Amino acid sequence: MTENTAVTDEKYVGVVLEALAQVLNRDVEGIGAEGRLFADLGLDSSSALELLIVIEEELGLQFDAEELDMSHFETVGSLAAFVAAEAGA
């Protein structure tokens, strides 16, 4: 992994964590890229949708529902990678 890739990954992990804190209305300190969205953080389908909306608003993006897959929601890192790809990072 290059330094630029690491910085990009860190940026989008941060965006996802900030959005999670807002959606879940709780502190997400100590949660990293490996945090599992459903199993560890208690996300459900409606909060996952809300999470995407918050990220879209934060980054000025619009995700294509056809591109979304449950694998994108496995961990904070997998969602951050999807967001980075959609943002063209």
Count of other CB atoms within 10 angstroms of residue 7: 10
This prediction's pTM: 0.89
Q: Is 4's pLDDT higher than 80?
A: no
Residue 7 reports pLDDT greater than 50: yes
| Domain spans, the chain | 3-84
Look at residue 13 in the predicted model and tell me its pLDDT. Answer: 96
| The CATH number of domain 3-84, selected from 1.10.1200.10, 3.40.980.10, 1.10.3720.10, 3.40.50.1860 | 1.10.1200.10
pLDDT tens-digit map of 50-89: 999 999 999 999 998 888 999 999 999 999 999 999 998 6
In degrees, rounded to 5, the angle at the alpha carbon of residue 85 between the alpha carbons of residues 40 and 68 is: 60
Counting residues of the chain whose pLDDT is more than 70, the rounded percentage is 90
